[in-house]
Structure 1
Amino acid sequence: MKEITRRKFIATATLATGFAIAVPPILAQVINTDDQGLIAGEVKIPVQDGTIPAYRAMPARGNNFPTVLVIQEIFGVHEHLQDICRRFAKLGYLAIAPELFIRQGDVSKLSSIDEIRPIVAKVPDGQVLSDLDATVNWAVKSSRGNAERLGITGFCWGGRITWLYAAHSPQVKAGVAWYGRLVGDTSEIIPGHPIDIASTLRTPVLGLYGGKDTGIPLDTVESMRSRLQSGSSQSEIIVYPDAPHAFFADYRPSYREAEAKEGWQRLQAWFKKYGV
């Protein structure tokens, strides 16, 4: 079988249709947002070593849209993330979710989280930040996005990236991080974590966490809050006492409708407050 180069792979890679294989059963409560009045679908983002796929949704009419980066969970840019982009587009945003694992592997085709974790563990933070810079550049130049009104939100793996990208890019006006990991081991490809940038963070980030999240201990959340308070970013952390991890993921048993809706309202108010 002829070897496929990395450049060719990422140039020809496409997004998942529907939900990732590893996430069933899909629950009846799943939210389905239509694309009426929108331009929505897959686009290609030029990056340093080729192109990567992304899902973009925006109003069909108008221009100079406030722009939101939507950062994936461990399962990739599957239907749930695509639906979130459409929800933002219905609110008047250009929302875009780039597939950030694609060089290391197509996680949408994997059937278990145990297969996915080794792929995600190989993704360098530097690669992710560079790809997000490229995504913002594409959104402004090719998709009627407004660079002066840039926000970011992410879930789980993407929650951690939300904190890091808010610290990385001076263009970001505000971020909302949903239950992203705050501490951890470091390595050559993962040089730091949100807690390491908390005291110097200038961009206001709202952290939304679950009090019953077994993967993110509350003491780490409190440590992050303390570090943020010693800085000048006006960032805040909200903990929903009875919510587990992934309480916004309406397709999973972890979904908590009340907390998810309240968090979504907080997100909208946060973006409005800080000019996104």
Structure 2
Amino acid sequence: MTSTRGTSVDIPTQDGTADAYLAYPDDGSPHPAVLLYMDAFGLRPNLKQMADRLAGNGYTVLVPNVFYRHGRAPVVELPEFIDTAERPEILQQISPLVRALTPEVVERDADAYLRWLADCPQAADGPIGITGYCMGSRLALRTAGTHPDRVAAVAGFHGGQLATDAPDSPHLVADRVTAEVYFGHADQDASMPPEQIERLDKALTEAGVRHRSEVYPGAHHGYTQADTSSYDAEAADRHWSELLALLDRTLRRTDGAS
């Protein structure tokens, strides 16, 4: 693993300033950029550690606080270990923030994040990768569909409501996606039932998108997040293997790295 640095940064957007975390290899060279979309629990130490791990594998990683309109992170105070069964009020606080992220808002913010990365000295020129967790999977897919010229790879893990009957369902952007796509669905996830997985796969296939969609047996919604009661070490390890393989084959070839 490469030694890394992490720092807080501010990103100007059409609606204000988004605070964010930037992690990158500490070698003075630019590296392929990855946009990491947070889960609903927000920008916190666990996500920073995940960004650091990606940076240690040779990437410059930006983790924006997508709830910035409601304040700087942490927008909602969280315990060190998150168990919503014991603390249901956490979801009650978070739900309005998630609902406020309309497709229009997500697209405006994505434009700001990508512009910022394009000017970031630690980020190499060329397309970027995106990884998203829980609600971040929806943001990742929508960003890939609205910025196909900038995004070479998209990964989403334990995402929910990715292919609903709604007229603005995320899967409807599939015909605009040019990136390679990977989804790691949670087996025990009521927010992404088999019929939605099938609808998502069908949309990506019909659009000619190179993709893989896998269901992780026994995994629950949130399985990658080590600071939550949903964490599944085996599924999380599998996620890291798939994510790094995707980024390596899509971003390394664009910056001339082996």
The residue matched to 2:210 in structure 1 has which SS?
coil
Q: Which runs of 4+ in 1 moved over 4 A?
A: none
Unaligned runs of 5+ in 2: 79-88, 253-258
Q: Does 1:41 align with 2:20?
A: no
Q: Does 1:96 align with 2:62?
A: yes
Q: What does residue 201 of structure 1 align with?
A: 177
Distance 1:228 1:73, change over 3 A: same
Q: What does residue 138 of structure 2 align with?
A: 160
Q: What does residue 107 of structure 2 align with?
A: 129
Cα deviation, 1:6-57, whole Å, max 9, x if unaligned, reads xxxxxxxxxxxxxxxxxxxxxxxxxxx9xx9322121111222432100001
Q: Does 1:176 align with 2:176?
A: no
Q: Does 1:222 align with 2:202?
A: no
Compute the TM-score of the two structures, normalised by the length of structure 2. 0.85
Q: What does residue 95 of structure 2 align with?
A: 117
Compute the TM-score of the two structures, normalised by the length of structure 1. 0.80
Equivalents in 2 of 1:42, 1:185: separation in Å? 38
Query: Which of residues 133, 143, 162 is equivalent to 2:121?
Result: 143
Cα deviation, 1:213-258, whole Å, max 9, x if unaligned, reads 1221111111211221212110110111221111111112211111
Equivalents in 1 of 2:104, 2:164: separation in Å? 17
Equivalents in 1 of 2:138, 2:31: separation in Å? 25
Q: Does the CA-based 8 Å contact 2:42-2:65 persist in structure 1?
A: yes
Distance 1:185 1:53, change over 3 A: farther
Equivalents in 2 of 1:49, 1:223: separation in Å? 33
Q: What amino acid does structure 2 have at the position aligned with 1:114? A: Q
- CA RMSD of superposed structures (Å): 2.1
Distance 1:258 1:137, change over 3 A: same
Q: Does the CA-based 8 Å contact 1:105-1:119 persist in structure 2?
A: no
The residue matched to 1:173 in structure 2 has which SS?
strand
Query: Which of residues 200, 211, 220 is equivalent to 1:244?
Result: 220
Q: What does residue 232 of structure 1 align with?
A: 208
Q: Does the CA-based 8 Å contact 2:35-2:131 persist in structure 1?
A: yes
Greater alpha carbon shift after TM alignment, 128-137 vs 246-255: 128-137
Equivalents in 2 of 1:51, 1:236: separation in Å? 35
The Cα of 1:154 is off from its aligned counterpart by: 0.6
The residue matched to 1:56 in structure 2 has which SS?
strand
Q: What amino acid does structure 2 have at the position aligned with 1:192? A: D
